[in-house]
Amino acid sequence: MQGITSKDNELIKHIKKLKDKKYRDMSNEYVIEGIKLVAEAIQEKAAIKQIILCDDCEKNAAIPKDLMYEIAKYECIYVTEKVFNYLSEVQTPQGILAVIEKTSQATEIDYTQDIIVALDDVQDPGNLGTILRTVDSIGLTQILVSKGTADSYNPKVVRSTMGAIFRVKIIACEDLKQTLKEIKRHKFKIVVSSLQTENTIYDIAYQKKVILIGNEANGVKKEIQELADEKIKIPMLGKTESLNASVATGIILYEYVRQKIENN
């Protein structure tokens, strides 16, 4: 067990730099923070490299004893409260974080699932994390993300996933348009949301479909919309004309869940 008291320690400087995407990509690591996320990482057998604990964690009994037993199986490094707060990305730290090695970049798409969710330049980390969490909640195990989508290992994304980051395969598409063309060859149909349609989310069957979610400000790019086989909209009774990207995704995906339950 190590103990670190200085922010100038090389490991501390390394962990701090992992908040930068370029450094995360170079080192092939990312940081998770909080009791629930570390517990999920252990449960899902993520590649945990180090677990960082605040000196006072055991004193205030914030971390459950059974989790402490599991944590002890890994390389644990204790730091002072000052050092931990320097590393933390949250306002009220729980005194525990971990460095995780990224899994190998997924490239193979699973065509056995009913639907595939694809994101076209979703920019907000909170939206991306919440969408990953929603995808996980309905039993999907993959998601496609365009080159312009927010980094999946951004600390805010990771926190927002609430553990889904360890279960959902993230397939980064260098050219989303070409990837969608390939998916169509596997008899999937592309579905985009649009106000220029009378069809609602309740008017299509969610089988062999790609649900395409667009950028928060601009929606799905025109060149990709041209690939769409079907367009849908979420019916709204009030004056609001659009919804947050993650909220809209949740509404669409739970119509898929409703149909699946009804058909079974």
Query: How far apart, in whole angstroms, are the C-alpha atoms of residue 140 and residue 167?
Result: 9
pLDDT for res 149: 96
Each domain of the chain, given as residue ranges in start order, spans 2-101, 115-263
pLDDT for res 3: 83
pLDDT for res 239: 86
Handedness of CA 117, 172, 190, 233 (dihedral sign): positive
* pLDDT value at 42 more than 70: yes
Could you write out the DSSP letters of every residue in 132-171? HHHHHHTT--EEEEETTSPPTTSHHHHHHHTTGGGTSEEE
Choice between 48 and 92, residue whose per-residue pLDDT is larger: 48
Domains 2-101 and 115-263 fall in the same CATH topology: no
Average pLDDT over residues 116-124: 96
Instruction: Name the burial class of residue 240, with classes exposed (0-12), middle (13-18) and buried (19+) by CB atoms within 10 angstroms of its CB.
Output: exposed
* pLDDT value at 1 more than 80: no
Q: Residue 212's closest CA among 175, 183, 249?
A: 249
Task: Supply the mean pLDDT for the chain.
Answer: 92
Q: Residue 183's closest CA among 138, 119, 250, 118?
A: 118
Residue 243, both tokens: 């919804």
The CATH code for residues 115-263 is 3.40.1280.10
The CATH code for residues 2-101 is 3.30.1330.30
> Helices 245-263 and 125-137 meet at what angle, rounded to 10?
10
Return the SS3 of 15. helix
pLDDT, tens digit (0-9, with 9 covering 90-100), for 27-38: 999 999 999 999
- Answer for the pair 158, 165: CB distance below 8 angstroms, yes or no: yes
pLDDT for res 107: 79
Kindly indicate the confidence band of residue 202, based on its pLDDT and cuts at 50, 70 and 90: very high
pLDDT, tens digit (0-9, with 9 covering 90-100), for 44-78: 999 999 999 998 765 555 788 899 999 999 999 99
Average pLDDT over residues 9-21: 96
* pLDDT value at 108 more than 70: yes
pLDDT, tens digit (0-9, with 9 covering 90-100), for 216-260: 888 899 999 999 999 999 998 898 877 899 999 999 999 999 999
Average pLDDT over residues 13-24: 96
pLDDT for res 61: 54
Return the SS3 of 33. strand
Cα 160 to chain centroid distance, Å, stands at 7
pLDDT for res 122: 96
pLDDT, tens digit (0-9, with 9 covering 90-100), for 139-180: 999 999 999 999 999 999 999 999 999 999 999 999 999 999
Average pLDDT over residues 85-102: 92
- Answer for the pair 221, 190: CB distance below 8 angstroms, yes or no: no
Neighbours of 195 (CB within 10 A): 10
* pLDDT value at 17 more than 60: yes
pLDDT for res 57: 61
